[in-house]
Structure 1
Amino acid sequence: MVEDERMQVIMGLIMHGGNAKSQAFQAIQLAKVGDFDGAKAAIAQADQSIKAAHDTQTDMLTKEAQGEHAKVDLYMVHAQDHVMNGITFRDLAVEMIAIYQKITDK
């Protein structure tokens, strides 16, 4: 993989991970004011961002299995950190939305 292409992959991972986190945060804010349909839609957007990042990771793993080694440097670690944070934040958001829903239903 040429350096420009590699940096595009890295920036894509950062973008998708950041988008997932932002969309999950938006979902929490919507649930907080009782907009559970909006919260559900924001989680769906976060899921799309996570899927895009996961698809990139799957492609990288496939290439690795085929002998095309991915260079692991601080950029790649940073990108993977963004993806992991996006996934974690999304999972926490789902739990917080459920709590807000439960409080609202009482």
Structure 2
Amino acid sequence: MQKGYWIVRVDVTDQEQYKAYVAANAAPLKKYGARFLARGGRYEVPEGVTRARNVIVEFPSFQAAHDCWHSPEYQAAIAFRLPASTIDLVIVEGYDGPQPA
């Protein structure tokens, strides 16, 4: 089974309010087996556009990634995030096929 990922780009406009979102999202992320692969940190934009913060969250499966976002617990956390940030979030299934030689 391929893993699932959230690929998130974020512009935070209210750091204090955003901290409430981070605290509220901890329980649903844990419940669905999430693991941060990238969470802010240094980045480069060689092509296209981005936001100020980039996050990649790994889940044990695409279904877990989907279910976490749609869960009542995560939807409650979103209420803290909405007034504090603008995001782009994509839920992606992992790839386990052939790789470049």
Structure with greater proportional helix content: 1
Q: Point out which structure has higher relative CO (alpha carbons under 8 A, 6+ apart).
A: 2
Please say which structure displays the higher CA radius of gyration. Answer: 1
Report the TM-score when normalising by structure 1: 0.32
Report the TM-score when normalising by structure 2: 0.33
